[in-house]
Structure 1
Amino acid sequence: MDLFLLTEQKYKGSYEKVGRLVNQYCTNKGLDTINFFELVLFCYLTGNNDMHLKNFSVTHHSDHTISLSPAYDLVNVNLVFPDDSDELALTLNGRKRKIVKADFDAFKMGIGLPERAVLNIYAKFAGASGKVKEVIESSFLPADWKKRYAEIWDKKLSILL
């Protein structure tokens, strides 16, 4: 999945297109597609609106399998740039802002994930809410940023449940 992109092109794309590329090139399509969906959802929930095309890649393994590479650059950009109204770096169901559950539902269909798998993913993230709050609270962020981070998580999670 080498897109050979110029820096100025890294925001011109959709998560659906990346998901289709994961499905096309990865050996374990089901697992990597689920991992990709979880990654996009995590970025949305944590306020990371900078997960652009150059942040996705695949790894070619010695056994000739190909998998989605581990994620990196997972930061809450909304804390640093609170006036940026984009919720995601790439489009999801044609939009970058005012994301709603229907957008993730269309995304799941566009990348071929079954309803049951996505419901399990939502439940997993909802169940991790307490741990997320613990990590935020124990971070070295200033107190007002900790509060905003938790608010971002809660607001976005409530949209999906």
Structure 2
Amino acid sequence: MVAVSVVLPKDPEELALNLNGKKRKLKRQDFNEAMAKSHIPTKAIENLCKRIEKGMQNWNELINNSFLSDENKNTLKELIENRANKLELHAG
């Protein structure tokens, strides 16, 4: 997922390509179904989510050290938090 909405805030799409026929209002189930249709084992899907959650612990620090303006840093942090909540991902 690329955070284009930081630069194009009026773009309603969350993804460039369809996922289960959707580009927005995505939920964890949409990703789980797409991965299952690709014959990815359930255990591998669970492990991927755990790895993403573990990596999320460093996102704020990485964003703070980025080249983005303070306004865009805050926008990106909000975006990540909102999307993580929709996808039922939690840092820590």
Report the alpha carbon displacement of residue 96 of structure 1 after superposing the two structures with TM. 0.6
2:82 pairs with 1:82: no
1:97-118 C-alpha deviation (Å, 9 max, x unpaired): 1111111111011111111111
Which string of whole-angstrom CA distances, capped at 9 and with x for unpartnered residues, describes residues 38-85 of structure 1?
xxxxx1xxxx1xxxxxxxxxxxxxxxxxxxxxxxxxxx2111101101
Counting matched residue pairs gives 88
Identity %: 31
Between the aligned partners of 1:92 and 1:121, the Cα distance in structure 2 is 17
Structure 2 counterpart of 1:94: 21
1:130 deviates by 2.1
Q: Is the 8 A contact 1:79 1:149 kept in 2?
A: yes
Look up the match of 2:49.
122
Greater RCO between the two (CA within 8 Å, min separation 6)? 2
Larger radius of gyration: 1
Once residues 154 and 160 of structure 1 are traced to their aligned partners in structure 2, the CA distance between those partners, rounded to angstroms, is 10
Q: TM-score, normalised by structure 2?
A: 0.89
| Paired residue type of 1:106 | E
Which ranges in structure 1 are unaligned for 5 or more consecutive residues?
1-42, 49-75
Q: Which amino acid aligns with 2:28?
A: K
CA contact (8 A) 1:122 1:160 kept: no
> Could you list the runs of 4 or more consecutive aligned residues of structure 1 that deviate by over 3 angstroms after TM superposition?
none
Structure 2: stretches of 5+ with no match in the other structure: none
1:11-30 → structure 2 map (5 Å cutoff)? none
Question: Is residue 150 from structure 1 mapped to residue 77 from structure 2 by the alignment?
Answer: yes
Residue in structure 2 matched with residue 134 of structure 1 by the alignment? 61
1:128 alignment partner, SS class? helix
